Amino acid sequence: MNSKALEIAIVCVNHNSYCELNLFIDSIQKALLNSDNVNLVLVIVDNSSNKKEITVGVSYDLTVIDSVNDGYMAGLNRGYQSLADTSIYDYIIASNVDLEMKSTFFQEIKKSAYPEDVLVIGPSIYSRKYHIDMNPQRIYRPKKNKYLINEFIFSFPQIYRLQRFISKYKKNKSNATKYPYATEMYACHGAVFIFTSEFFNRMGTIDYPLFLYGEEIFIAEQVRSLGGRIIYDPNLEFLDEGSVSTSKLDYKRLAKEHLKATRFILKNYYP
């Protein structure tokens, strides 16, 4: 007797990263061929300023949505809203495209059985640039003082520029704690969110109002308010090529977007 097929939707946002997008699509295809009994839908929200035709041969349902660039989460939400019936999916994966899915991904997620209160799963995201796993991003909820300090830093682009340089240096020298087992965390890295069906059953949303940054906290605080948990699962693996889109923005624009996100977080979650 055949087991029930796993229903998965992947929604991703592409912004002028067609080379990375093609690698991402190819890696999904390889992972799918390496597994069975998986029904997959891929939705690409293309908010590039210089549109190119996306023509790839895949064995799954592929939809491309031309979009204006109104932000990462806005793009993901547009892709999510395009799904005909979201209730059929066991998992909805929301991601950027400068990634490669490991060939064992679908095999591993099929073997997994998460408790009902697990609303979001953060996979292993190994950074080729920094040689670290970017998850778990935050094990514990930050104190309000951290955001107040960040608000000060982001208010002065030159200070932010220095802080950014120091942060990159620390990443290059990082001996980050490794978690070889499933671990509960406060927030996962925003490059990939794996939402269980229960997240949306509890009326969770990915309709985030800001253009950039803060999406990890937006999701984390929802999960917290919904009485759920976020789990890091090292068996679900991606490779990260780096923030291709944001790397093209100058530090003044990045500081401005960080400041907006920090003030949003302080206003909504740290009154």
pLDDT, averaged across the chain: 93
Q: What is the average pLDDT across 64-91?
A: 96
Q: What type of residue sits at position 3?
A: S
1: confidence class by pLDDT, cuts 50, 70, 90: very low
Q: List beta partners, residue 96.
A: 13
Q: Which domains does the chain have, with CATH numbers?
A: 6-269 (3.90.550.10)
Greatest CA separation found in the chain? Answer: 63
Q: What is the average pLDDT across 214-219?
A: 99
Give the list of residues 6+ apart from residue 189 with CB closer than 8 angstroms, or none: 122, 125, 134, 135, 137, 216
Distance from CA of residue 43 to its chain's centroid? 15
Residues 154-201: tens digit of each pLDDT: 999 999 999 988 887 666 655 667 898 999 999 999 999 999 999 999
Residues 16-40: tens digit of each pLDDT: 999 999 999 999 999 999 999 999 9
What's the pLDDT at 248?
67
What's the pLDDT at 53?
84
What's the pLDDT at 59?
81
What's the pLDDT at 143?
98
What's the pLDDT at 83?
97
For residues 243 and 6, which has the higher predicted lDDT (pLDDT)? 6
Residues 41-72: tens digit of each pLDDT: 999 999 998 888 887 777 889 999 999 999 99
Q: ∠95-193-37 over CA atoms, to 5°? A: 85
The tokens describing 51, both together, are: 């549109």
Residues 93-149: tens digit of each pLDDT: 999 999 999 999 999 999 999 999 999 999 999 999 889 999 999 999 999 999 999
What proportions of the chain, in percent to the nearest 5, are helix, strand and coil?
Answer: 40, 25, 40
Give the list of residues 6+ apart from residue 201 with CB closer than 8 angstroms, or none: none
Distance from CA of residue 51 to its chain's centroid? 23
The tokens describing 50, both together, are: 């210089």
Which H or E run contains 118? strand 118-127
Sole residue written with tokens 């949306």: 200
Q: What separation in angstroms does the CA of 72 have from each of 126, 147, 213, 257? A: 21, 22, 9, 12
7: confidence class by pLDDT, cuts 50, 70, 90: very high
Query: 28 — phi, psi (to 5°)?
Result: -65, -45
What's the pLDDT at 47?
94
Q: ∠51-23-55 over CA atoms, to 5°? A: 45
Q: At what angle do helices 144-154 and 157-172 cross, to 10 degrees?
A: 120
Which H or E run contains 218? helix 215-225
